[in-house]
Amino acid sequence: MIKQKVLIAGFFYGLIFESLGAEAPGFYLLPAMVAAFLYFKFLFMLKAVNAVLAFVSGLFLMIFWAFATNGWETPSLKFTSHIFMYVFLLLILLYIFSYAEKK
């Protein structure tokens, strides 16, 4: 069962970035919720495997959405690095929450 604290953390993380001005509605919120859900739903013993799979899925979803909102043009390298940092910081936050939950 997924802890509600984790989904709430992913929700607020996405909501904060969403409120700062996303191009498309849900651009930050949906990938944050998907990555948070997948990070804790995967049944792998190592949290690193869960983190990598959640990272790849969140990154793929955001880049796909960036392609779709940009008229199927490739996003710039600066925007792609922004997406990478967003998902990476989300996974650090989720790891901190999962570590604090174990204690």
Q: What gap in Å lies between CA 12 and CA 4, rounded to an integer? A: 12
The model's pLDDT over 44-88, given as tens digits with 9 standing for 90+, comes to: 777 788 888 888 999 999 999 888 888 899 888 998 898 899 999
Domain range enclosing 76: 4-102
What domain count does the chain have? 1
pLDDT in tens, 4-54: 777 788 888 888 888 887 677 888 888 888 888 888 888 777 778 888 888
pLDDT value at 2 more than 60: no
pLDDT of 10 reads 84
C-alpha dist (Å) from residue 19 to 15, 16, 29, 31, 99:
6, 5, 10, 15, 28
pTM score of the predicted model: 0.80
Residue 18: Cβ-neighbour burial (10 angstroms; 0-12, 13-18, 19+)? middle
